[in-house]
Amino acid sequence: MNKLKILFGRLMNSSIVKYGLVGVINTLITGLIMFALMNVFSVSLRLSNIVGYVAGFINSFILNKLWTFKGKQSSTLSQFIRFTAVFGVCFLLQHGLVILLAEKLLLGKNISALIGMVFYTGVSYILNKLFTFKK
C-alpha cells in the first residue's frame, strides 16, 4: 500500500499530469463560456470561440506558471510573451480547424468546437513544454 501511495504522489507531481489537470480546468472554462455564448446567448461561433479561449488562456498561464512548471527559471514577462506566442499559434490552428469543420465540412458547431479543443490541447502541451517553460 505504501508503494502505491508513493507512486500516486510521484504521478501527481509530474508536469504532464499537472498540465492535464490544468487542461481539464481550462477546457471546462473555455467550453462553458463558448457553449453558453453560442447556445444560450446566440453569440456567433467565431466570437464565442475567441472569448472562450481568451478566458482559458488567462487561467492557463497562471496555473501553469505557478503550479505545473513552477515558473522560476525565467522572468514572468519572458514566459508570458512565449506563452502568448504559443497560444497565438495554437489558437489560429485550432480556430482554422473549427471553421473548416463547421463551415466547410458541415460537422456542426458543437462537435467542431470539441474537436478543436482536443487538437489545441495536444499541440499547446508540446509547445509549452519545449518552448515556454523549458528549463
What pLDDT sits at residue 25? Answer: 94
Number of domain units in the chain: 1
In whole angstroms, give the CA distance from residue 123 to residue 110. 20
In whole angstroms, give the CA distance from residue 126 to residue 120. 10
Q: Per-residue pLDDT for 117 more than 80?
A: yes
Q: Per-residue pLDDT for 51 more than 90?
A: yes
Instruction: Name the band, by pLDDT with cuts 50, 70 and 90, for residue 31.
Output: very high
For the segment 101-116, the average pLDDT, to the nearest whole number, is 93
State the residue range of the domain holding 51: 2-132
pTM of structure: 0.68
Q: Per-residue pLDDT for 133 more than 80?
A: yes
For the segment 61-67, the average pLDDT, to the nearest whole number, is 90
Q: Which helix (H) or strand (E) segment is 102 a member of?
A: none
For the segment 35-60, the average pLDDT, to the nearest whole number, is 93
Q: Which residues contact 128 (CB under 8 A, 6 or more apart)?
A: 19, 64, 69, 83, 86
Per the listing, cell 492535464 goes with 20
What pLDDT sits at residue 116? Answer: 93
Q: Per-residue pLDDT for 99 more than 70?
A: yes
